[in-house]
Structure 1
């Protein structure tokens, strides 16, 4: 009978797979990187990796869940401690503005995310997962701030909260794409500053 494997051991192996996958995806790109690359980087066998994940897509989805869930949980906790929607919105933008300075892996992670997002349209289940995650995680953290401001009377009740969330993320994704290609930190900050002005104008506009 094989020896029992502890949960701590399993978690350590899962973490090793995810770290190796991110390194391979960042180096070669999500499409080009293979399970064999992850095997070589991690030192684990292919069979061992498949014991934890069904496919390369599953590895990336878990990687995204772990990284973004942690960062968004920290952000939400901070936002909830701020008393006004305007303070929350200002902090929200400061977090995104500072990524190029405080997060050394930000550009590599963004490149992989953009590539995976584009490739997901070819797989219906992955496409649905990414769309739902966009709606319930990414967009929601901003629309919750804006709705908080509407409920408190800081922002007009006539504004289209969902539309503003879409404006932010479609624009910010474009900024991220540009930064991943051009690697111009100064311009990145200027673009985020301009986007902040646009969003502030939208949340104070009475239709």
Structure 2
């Protein structure tokens, strides 16, 4: 009879696998990392890893899902402290202005994220799953802008759907440019923030 494994133990094992996988992905890239390498890094056998995840794709999707849930919690908590839509948009820009995109671990995670995004274009199932995350992020900005329009704070003439996408395009654009170590990330993002906020402000 197989021993009973507690949920706490299962979660501990899953977290260990996920943490090791993220480090391996950041060091070697998503495509070239193997389950064997994740197992060697985590000290967990390949067979045991398959007890928790059916594939390397599923490992990364779980990492992405957890990151999304953490983002939702953090954003909701901080948004509740801010009264205006304008200040909420400004706050989100500032979140990225306080990050260090050149820090090796964060830089590696960014590379893995974009690498996996392109990887997903080859799979309809994967593309649908990461599109759900994208929709959450876009809708977050769209709904914030719409609430601001309702109270006369945000420019009523802007297309909130377009400007929601524009917000994330700005952030994706500056994040991608950080592959160049001399890219003036903070200066460019600060300038883009001021331009964006000026455009959405109800004059």
CA contact (8 A) 1:39 1:46 kept: yes
Do the aligned residues in 2 keep the contact of 1:159 with 1:205 (CA within 8 Å)?
no
Which aligned segments of 4 or more residues in structure 1 are displaced greater than 6 angstroms?
A: none
**Is residue 160 of structure 2 the alignment partner of residue 147 of structure 1?**
no
- Cα offsets for 1:8-55 (capped at 9, x unmatched): 000000000000000000000111111111011011111111111111
Q: Map 1:153-192 to 2 at 5 A.
A: 153-179=152-178, 181-184=179-182, 187-192=184-189
TM-score (norm 1): 0.91
Contact 1:164 1:202 in 2 (8 A): no
Is the CA contact 2:86–2:201 (under 8 Å) kept in the aligned structure 1? Answer: no
CA distance in 2, matches of 1:72, 1:32: 31
Q: Which digits, 9 at most, give the CA deviation of each residue in 1:147-186, with x for residues without a partner?
A: 221122101322101100111212211211111x12347x
Q: Is 1:110 equivalent to 2:110 in the alignment? A: yes
Structure 1 counterpart of 2:69: 69
Instruction: Note if 1:100 corresponds to 2:100.
Output: yes
The separation in 2 between residues aligned to 1:143 and 1:104, in whole angstroms, is: 32
Q: What residue is the counterpart of 1:196 in the other structure?
A: 193
Could you tell me which runs of 5 or more consecutive residues in structure 1 were left unpaired when the two chains were aligned.
none
Q: Which has the higher helix share?
A: 1
Other-structure match for 1:25: 25
Query: How far off its partner does 1:65 sit?
Result: 1.3
Conserved 8 A contact 2:26-2:105: no
The answer to whether the Cα contact below 8 Å between 2:17 and 2:38 also exists between their aligned partners in 1 is: yes
Q: Which runs of 5+ in 2 are unaligned?
A: none
SS of 1:53's partner is coil
Taking the aligned partners of 1:154 and 1:104, their CA distance within structure 2 comes to: 39
Q: Secondary structure at the match of 2:156?
A: coil
RMSD over aligned Cα, in angstroms? 1.9
1:140 is displaced (CA, Å) by 2.1
- Offset at 1:94? 0.7
